[in-house]
Structure 1
Amino acid sequence: MADRKRVATYCGIAGAILSLGAITLGTVIAPPETFTWQGRALSDMGRYGAPTFPLFNGGLILGGLVGLPFAWRLWITCRNSIERLGVVLLSIAVVGMIGVGVFFLEHTALYLETSLHGVAALSVFGVAPFASWVYGSGAALAGDGRLAVASVWFGNVHPLAWLGWLLSLGGEADTSTWFAVPEFVAAVAFGGWIVVLAVTLRRRNDSEPDVPNR
């Protein structure tokens, strides 16, 4: 059991590295006609027919699948129902990330008549900050002040990034301008939070019995 928990903990770190690594590498190698920071969204790297199509979508799918066992690891260490709700939201965000890769831009050219890309993206960017805030609230109730503060502030990064982006537009109608920047900041905040959670769990005594569900 201890070995499974240890592996699941490292899955959280590996999943974050895989997904963020694929996104970052994609921004470096993507040709300007398919992606630029100033005029494109991150998902344009995964658009059907783009040179970075397999890298971007494959990285999100693989990173999400590798990271899912970490949700189980986090769940069995939850100390109250609020933390467990945070884990549920975290899982939704990770599944949403997988969905972004599965339901890539223009996936309707290959399958399904209805595009689900927007729903998947909203599941990540809309749910991830709430996962951090809720789990952080649960950590605070459990008396884990350091993890609570870290979780809440990782969640705060998301709205701050989007607010900063909106203010930078200065009333411009073209909301695609620099859209990839807050997306990337939010992705790093989500991945960084998961890494912090995994490192925190790793530092705990793996031999300590898990708290039973209440």
Structure 2
Amino acid sequence: MGSFSSRRVAAGCGIAAPVLVLSAILLSTALADPFTWSGHALSDLGRPGTATFPLFNGGLVLGGVVGAPFVGRLWAEAWTPLERAGVVCYGLAIAGMALVGVFFLEHTDWYLGRSLHGPVALAFFAGAPVANLLLGAGAVRAGERRWGAVTVGVGLAHLLLWGGWLLAIDVGLLESGAWFGLVEFLAAVLFGGWTAVAAVRLLDRS
């Protein structure tokens, strides 16, 4: 009974974590002044001195902490080497997301002499699609072809989102950095949406 209950709690964390993070982001955008999707990055919401500093950064850190048990549940359910590699990348993405709230923009004014904001943000935004591609390929190999195809599709959607944005800048349709916050949010929705659906599947499996 205890093992069964812990598995359900770990799966439930996969639903709670994206709800916490996406809610914190959306609430921060509503409270921030000024903030525009076209002119700001999401990380601007976590700058020291802003009204949204504790909400945005706290939401990311709390989401990472709550999401950690779900990473463990994914690992327990991984049957193939590809799936296990995907879980490792997923865990790195979750850790990167949480650490964005720790190593916020201008954190060097508070601690550390070198900014780690860029590397941890990259760990999230690069880790998410790689995790989906590996998890999806592993699921197909394990015989879960429909779920594997959906998961690979989410990974490809990440790549198309970022690739399309970069291409639009390269050909002059967008100014450099324009709409970066929106692209970041859409990537977070893809990551959080897949996480929640995967968690529901694991709850049903429990």
Same fold (TM over 0.5): yes
Residue 176 of structure 1 and its aligned partner are, at CA, apart by 2.0
Report the TM-score when normalising by structure 1: 0.91
Structure 1 counterpart SS, 2:91: helix
Identical pairs, percent? 52
Residue 40 of structure 1 and its aligned partner are, at CA, apart by 0.7
The alignment status of 1:17 with 2:19, answered yes or no, reads yes
1:64 corresponds to: 64
CA distance in 1, matches of 2:55, 2:72: 27
Q: CA RMSD in A?
A: 1.3
Partner amino acid, structure 2, of 1:197? A
Residue 172 of structure 1 and its aligned partner are, at CA, apart by 6.9
CA distance in 1, matches of 2:30, 2:156: 27
Structure 2 counterpart SS, 1:126: helix
Pick closer, same or farther for the CA change 1:173–1:6 going to 2, 3 Å.
Answer: closer
Q: Retained in 1: the 8 A contact 2:21–2:63?
A: yes
Post-superposition CA distance 1:127-148 (Å, at most 9, x none): 1100000000000001101210
Residue 189 of structure 1 and its aligned partner are, at CA, apart by 0.5
The range that moved more, 73-82 or 95-104, is 73-82
Structure 2 counterpart SS, 1:115: coil
CA distance in 2, matches of 1:150, 1:195: 13
Structure 1 counterpart SS, 2:29: helix
Residue 26 of structure 1 and its aligned partner are, at CA, apart by 1.2
1:194 corresponds to: 195
Partner amino acid, structure 2, of 1:98? A
CA distance in 1, matches of 2:66, 2:196: 13
CA distance in 1, matches of 2:191, 2:143: 23
Pick closer, same or farther for the CA change 1:173–1:190 going to 2, 3 Å.
Answer: closer
Aligned length: 203
Higher helix proportion (structure 1 or 2)? 2
CA distance in 1, matches of 2:204, 2:40: 40
2:125 corresponds to: 125
1:181 corresponds to: 182
Give runs of aligned pairs for residues 1-214 of structure 1, distance below 5 A.
Answer: 1-32=3-34, 35-169=35-169, 170-171=171-172, 174-204=175-205, 206=206
Residue 156 of structure 1 and its aligned partner are, at CA, apart by 1.3
Residue 173 of structure 1 and its aligned partner are, at CA, apart by 8.4
Partner amino acid, structure 2, of 1:96? G
The range that moved more, 96-105 or 157-166, is 157-166
- Flag structure 1 segments of 5+ consecutive residues without an equivalent: 207-214
